[in-house]
Chains A and B, each alone.
Chain A
Amino acid sequence: MSKEMENLKSEIIRSSGVNPKKCMRCGKCTGTCPAFDEMEYHPHQFVYMVESGDIEPLLNSKSLYKCLTCFACVDRCPRGVEPAKLVEAVRLSVIRKQGANHLKADDIPALLDDEMPQQAIVSALRKYSK
């Protein structure tokens, strides 16, 4: 793993709070993913590829913007790995360099309700900005 990838990996792990080593490779995340057909890399691959430092293909993949942030994988993962958070972290590592948000920060309060996970808002803010 190059030094640059090493740094990116630790940044993704830090910002997501996900420990990919907890994954037991059962594939329940991918088995449950409603956006499976749209995605080039599937949730279990995100977890595996981040752990093995093979992050370059993920950065350039459309899969980053196909994740619905529905959190089904987070809810059902038996090991508590939370793949969607990892997808989000990889996505952010790309988007943060690009700037230009989809929503304005001022628009957000009107969209909030108690049911919605905070991260869904953050996703909405950033992922369509490409």
Chain B
Amino acid sequence: MQRIGVFVCWCGSNIAGTVDVEKVSEALKNEPGVVFSTNYQYMCSQAGQDIIKDAIAEHKLTGIVVCSCSPRMHEATFRKTAAAAGLNSYMVEIANIREQCSWVHKDMQSGTEKAIILGKAAVAKVNLNAPLTPGESPVTKRALVIGGGIAGIQTALDIAEAGFPVDIVEKKPTIGGKMAQLDKTFPTLDCAACILTPKMVDVAQNDKIRIFSYSEVEEIGGFVGNFTVKIKKKARYVKEDVCTGCGICTEKCPQKKVPNEFNMGMDNRRAVYIPFAQAVPKVATIDPNYCTMLKTGKCGVCAKVCTAGAIDYTQKDEIIEEKYGAIVAATGFNPISMDKFDEFAYNQSKDVITSLEFERLTNAAGPTAGKLLRPSDGKHPHTIVFVQCVGSRCDACAEKGKEYCSKICCMYTAKHAMLTRDKYPDTDVYVFYIDVRTPGKAFDEFYRRAVEEYGVHYIKGMVGKVSPEGDKLMVRASDLLANKQLNIAADLVVLAAAIEPDKSARPLATMLTASMDTNDFFTEAHPKLRPVESPTAGVFLSGTCQGPKDIPETVSQASAAAAKVIGLLAKDKLMGNPCVAQSNELMCNGCSSCERVCPYGAITYADKEFRMPDRTVAIRRVAMVNEAVCQGCGACTVACPSGAMDLKGFATSQIIAEVDAICK
């Protein structure tokens, strides 16, 4: 028979305001097994915890029930309290009489009644609790960062700085991500390449960091501390360790008509290419969709001109298997497609471009060598219209666009407008906005400078239609403050397209069993208090894969994710969760139902010898649970037809006892 102590918390007036705590502790005194019951203003305070410790010693308690807030809040606190007093942590049960009781009830009588019932259920469960000891598992001291943009780069550098090896997997031929495509960065206007490329070089030179470029994650198995990952290194038909990055092949390749994705398709590259001058690794890649040699077997120019002998047309995709203790998702974003926004004529006119295309048009390494020229005729545009919120802040039911604010567009548009006026003062620049959102250090000052010092015309209103007429773009828009409709003959229209998570994020989330929101952004374990961790243990989030972010925020989050990874890798052993499934071999009939439903692959089968009642020995196939892999979800306990599977700490008998106590 257990000796149970009950501790009812007032939580100030949070609980005591709607629940008669005195009545609750009095009522629970008479429950079977209860030898002590009390209440206190704040059980989680030091004084409250001392009450629990003293009671455990004085009344020789073998189990305790704390009637307080959600176990998500303070279960860990009270388990530590019990352990400090020499009681097994798993002999503690929480009855949630705050979130599930006092906060949802208005009437004291019904609140009190429900609190007593919840307390009774917890007491009934503790009566059947048994002490549990968590198992230990080793930690592989290596991290995997998926995505090599500024988020992945910063996370990898910080983890390596702490002395742990890191691998970066990047699907493109070079790391650098979106930031490498940008011209200047707000609000300080330093050049993106000038601050990014030194970091890329740091990554390349760091002996703790390996870069798997032009590679993708194929398969992820295992669990926190012990992930096994298969990485596909796609064939680039160039020997990475031999290529010197001299670029002669990229000049001699006769296939010149390949849209250059780095310049947003605004110019062409060759079939063999290095994305940009500062690429890391600086190694050529042959695009198999365009290479004449790979398609027809006739060409071979690059192999002839390569003095290093790095070209290898027979290269095959390679699968690398590696073990990791922690995984960081840093898969980034893309601007959404403008195909559904016919009213802006994006697909009709070359002179309607997205903001990322505008970045390339103003970038010294871009298709126009930094001169702002119209894509259609190469002329300098004299009237430019910027349209904000294209596809952002849309209705949830709308077929096109996203419901969220993309967060970065207000600032980069202010930057584009300001830089245009600075370089080309003869240009009229209009920005159509719904709201200007500039929360951030020195952000609003930046926007005001665009208006006050650089004379950018900010107009509250929205562009309704863009129609190409001759070499002009007729822009029809509203000016809400003047209650007017404007018709502007523009030379260039720039759309601030909404951003969305990269398409690779969803399949990755499936492999990681990490959760996502309806927009395919990774969900954090807690929106405020655990913003860089996924709810899946050992998986961390860095950058825009978690939500729209600018560069300063991305870098902060990337470092925060690294700190969490370092905290994990610094441990030699991880304490497991002892509330895992166990199979009663005497009852198991080897049907495999549990193995089929287990989402973690924690169940295997083995043939075991059993001594039968007639003293013969029979061999039976029985289920075995890998306790380190089991997450304690309980799916197997429901699937098991013979009742052999049970969950430690949440045994069927305990749950039935709770239900009985509630229904009594």
Residues of A within 8 A of B (CB): 22, 24-33, 36-37, 42, 44-45, 72, 75-81
Contacts and interface: CB of A to CB of B under 8 A. Distances in A.
Nearest to A32: B464
B346 to A, nearest CB: 14
Nearest to A45: B483
Contact of A31 (B395, B397, B461): B461
A107 B479 CA distance: 41
A87 to B, nearest CB: 16
A78 B478 contact: no
23 contacts: A22-B395, A26-B461, A26-B462, A27-B434, A27-B461, A28-B464, A28-B478, A29-B464, A31-B461, A31-B463, A31-B465, A31-B476, A33-B485, A42-B483, A76-B465, A78-B389, A78-B395, A78-B398, A79-B394, A79-B398, A80-B394, A80-B397, A81-B395
A27 B395 contact: no
Interface residues of B, number: 24
B480 A25 contact: yes
A70 B605 CA distance: 68
Contacts of B394: 78-80
Contacts of B445: none
B172 interface: no
A27 B460 contact: yes
Contacts of B479: 27
A37 B477 CA distance: 13
A27 B480 contact: yes
B389 A26 contact: yes
A44 B478 contact: yes
Contacts of A80: 394-395, 397-398
Contacts of A30: 461, 464, 478, 480, 485
Contacts of A37: 485
A27 B477 CA distance: 8
Contacts of B486: 31
B316 interface: no
B165 to A, nearest CB: 47
A30 to B, nearest CB: 4
A72 B389 CA distance: 18
Contacts of A36: 485
Given A25-B480, A32-B464, A44-B478, A79 B485 contact: no
A33 B434 contact: no
Top 10 closest pairs, chain A to chain B, by CB: A32-B464, A31-B464, A31-B478, A80-B395, A27-B478, A28-B462, A30-B478, A36-B485, A26-B434, A27-B461
A78 B393 contact: yes
Contacts of B401: 78
Given A31-B465, A78-B393, A79-B395, 11 more contacts: A26-B462, A27-B434, A27-B461, A27-B462, A27-B477, A30-B478, A31-B463, A31-B476, A31-B477, A31-B485, A32-B343
B398 A31 contact: no
B389 to A, nearest CB: 7
Given A26-B434, A33-B485, A80-B395, A44 B480 contact: yes
Contacts of B397: 80
A27 B483 CA distance: 10
Contacts of A28: 462-464, 478
A80 B465 CA distance: 17
Contacts of A78: 389, 393-395, 398, 401
Contact of A33 (B343, B463, B464): B464
A68 B306 CA distance: 67
Contacts of A26: 389, 434, 461-462
Contacts of B485: 30-31, 33, 36-37, 42
A36 B482 CA distance: 13
Interface string B363-407: 000000000000000000000000001000111011001000000
